[in-house]
Amino acid sequence: MSSLFFKNAQVVFPDRVATTNVFVRDGVIVDVDAPESTSADVTVDAQGRYLMPGVIDDQVHFRDPGLTHKEDLATASRACAAGGVTTFLEMPNTRPPAITMDGIRLKENLAAEKSLVNYGFYIGATSENVSDLQQATNVPGIKIFIGSSTGNLLVDEQQALEQIFAQTTLPICAHCEDETMVRENTAKYEGVHDVAVHSKIRDVDAAVTATKRAIDLSLRHKHRFHVLHVSTAAELPLLANTQPYVTAEVCPHHLFFNVDDYERLGTLIQMNPSIKSAEDNRQLWEGLLQGAIQVIATDHAPHTWEEKQAEYPSSPSGLPAVENSLALMLNQVSQGKCTLTQVASWMCDAPARVWGIVGKGRIANGYDADLVLVDMEQRREIENARQHTKSRWSPWHGTTLTGWPVATWVNGQQVYGEHGFDESVRGAKPQFDHQRGGFWATPDGIGLR
């Protein structure tokens, strides 16, 4: 039983930024216009700073269990807290893969023990586990790898995809790159060790073909579908006229890096889907601003520095981003390219609505007190040595940003601030309510319990 009072905060609401006072009791926001005389156990004077809802990163790979030399739930959740991420949704391609509810429960138990922030875990689709997908409850959704995976998590046969879309009810998300095209391109560039060919192997056509295929399945089966990490301008027209079934997201690396950066960064920006052109950067930004894309997520996928230094194509695809994603977007606000309300929509409210995360994503009465205090005047350089991810590197090393999260609360408990982390805090599994209809059915927020 505790109370928390933010006074003189510039609060980022869905439709405006307003200076007000926010009162929190027992982890829940109870008054977003509290009088200055309000008494609380803890008072935070937020004068000159902005109070945002906590970020929900709906696409991360935290490597726990099975690949914890790269990352684990303790290090990853510290990175989240430092970056203003209060809830993460993690992908199923761990070892063992999370393709049953027993596999999900294993990861939930690990998170309950280790994670400083809130957590949810997708169930992975295979060609043979439709019954497991049908039985899954209170999870964010189903993840399909239509390309870019190995073993039984790769599902690219049409019959299996039709069955999953037709016979399950949870919302689906997918990695969309056409596996046949990628394999043909791989053979074409066999023996080439220049990482720049990665964007020719995983080219625009591979992305467009798979995204078109998945959207067709979604619309025909009237099944909610989320396009992960849109990487090409050519995918944007596919998203038009797909309501109420289809939503989409973009990642910072596809907004800020392009093929011209391979010369400078090499395998550090080797990603699946691959980095594309500067024109793709520009049009993806426009897609965000115009509402064709609803969500920003990181696809945080850490590998060790040594692994990333391997000669292409032995180098793995993936990069860490979860602790810098909000700051990267705040920097865009400082440059006048977008607003704080837009950032809060893309990174907080929209993912809560897409995945039915009850009581999350907004600063409003009755919502959970997952909150981030932001200093829009702070200038800081991203440095490998200061990264909290276990991999301890960032492709943005050496980049100076204006606007940083400086304190983070999870369910009303401060987990990160100027004195570091409160390691006693643990996040919780939120409620996923898919009966609320997803993003297009919840324009006023996902709502309360």
Q: Is the pLDDT of residue 65 over 90?
A: yes
Average pLDDT, the chain: 97
Q: What is the CATH number of the domain that holds 188?
A: 3.20.20.140
CB contact burial 140-167 (16+ within 10 A = b; e otherwise): bbbbbbbbbbeeebbbbeeebbebbbee
Burial class (CB in 10 A: 0-12, 13-18, 19+), 308: buried
Residue 96 near residue 121 (C-beta atoms within 8 A): no
Over residues 414-432, the mean pLDDT reads 98
Q: Is the pLDDT of residue 315 over 80?
A: yes
Q: Is the pLDDT of residue 288 over 70?
A: yes
Q: Which residues contact 222 (CB under 8 A, 6 or more apart)?
A: 245
What six digits make up the tokens of 122?
Answer: 């997708």
Closest CA relative to residue 289, chosen from 281, 301, 299: 281
Check residue 302 and give its pLDDT. 98
Q: Which helix (H) or strand (E) holds 167?
A: helix 158-167
Closest CA relative to residue 323, chosen from 305, 338, 302, 337: 302
How far apart are alpha carbons 65 and 435 in whole angstroms?
A: 31
Check residue 249 and give its pLDDT. 98
Tens of pLDDT, residues 73-107: 999 999 999 999 999 999 999 999 999 999 999 99
Is residue 413 a part of any domain in this protein?
no
CA torsion sign for 121, 124, 129, 133 is positive
Check residue 291 and give its pLDDT. 98
Is residue 58 a part of any domain in this protein?
yes
Position 224 confidence tier, pLDDT thresholds 50, 70, 90 = very high
Q: Which residues contact 86 (CB under 8 A, 6 or more apart)?
A: 54, 55, 56, 80, 117, 118, 370, 371, 372, 408, 409, 410, 427
Tens of pLDDT, residues 341-399: 999 999 999 999 999 999 999 999 999 999 999 999 999 999 999 999 999 999 999 99
- Count the Cβ atoms, other than its own, within 10 Å of residue 388: 20
Q: Is the pLDDT of residue 150 over 80?
A: no
Is residue 91 a part of any domain in this protein?
yes
Calculate ∠ Cα 295-51-386, nearest 5°.
Answer: 75
- Prior bond of 35 cis (ω within 30°): no
Strands (E) located in 142-275: 142-146, 172-176, 225-227, 246-250
Residue with tokens 């689906």: 172
- Count the Cβ atoms, other than its own, within 10 Å of residue 69: 12
Q: Residue 367 has what DSSP assignment?
A: S
Position 152 confidence tier, pLDDT thresholds 50, 70, 90 = confident
Strand partners, 404: 375
Residue 105's domain comprises 53-363
How far apart are alpha carbons 283 and 205 in whole angstroms?
A: 17
Q: Which amino acid appears at position 132 of this protein?
A: D
Is residue 407 a part of any domain in this protein?
no
Q: Is the pLDDT of residue 314 over 80?
A: yes
Q: Is the pLDDT of residue 156 over 80?
A: yes
Q: Is the pLDDT of residue 151 over 70?
A: no
pTM: 0.98
The residue length of the chain stands at 449
Residue 38 near residue 50 (C-beta atoms within 8 A): no
Residue 140 near residue 433 (C-beta atoms within 8 A): no
Residues classed as catalytic: 299
Cα 177 to Cα 211, 272, 287: the distances in Å are 7, 8, 20
Q: Is the pLDDT of residue 41 over 70?
A: yes
Residue 75 near residue 390 (C-beta atoms within 8 A): yes
Position 15 confidence tier, pLDDT thresholds 50, 70, 90 = very high
CA torsion sign for 339, 340, 343, 349 is negative
Is residue 39 a part of any domain in this protein?
no
Closest CA relative to residue 36, chosen from 25, 26, 47: 47
How far apart are alpha carbons 99 and 121 in whole angstroms?
A: 10
- Cα–chain-centroid distance for residue 5? 29
Is residue 237 a part of any domain in this protein?
yes
Is residue 382 a part of any domain in this protein?
no
- Cα–chain-centroid distance for residue 229? 9
Is residue 28 a part of any domain in this protein?
no
SS3 category, 247: strand
Q: Residue 445 has what DSSP assignment?
A: -
Residue 21 near residue 9 (C-beta atoms within 8 A): yes
Q: Which helix (H) or strand (E) holds 401?
A: strand 400-410
Q: How many structural domains comprise the chain?
A: 1
Give helix then strand counts, H and E, for the chain.
14, 18
Cα 362 to Cα 104, 131, 282, 343: the distances in Å are 27, 35, 28, 12
- Count the Cβ atoms, other than its own, within 10 Å of residue 335: 10
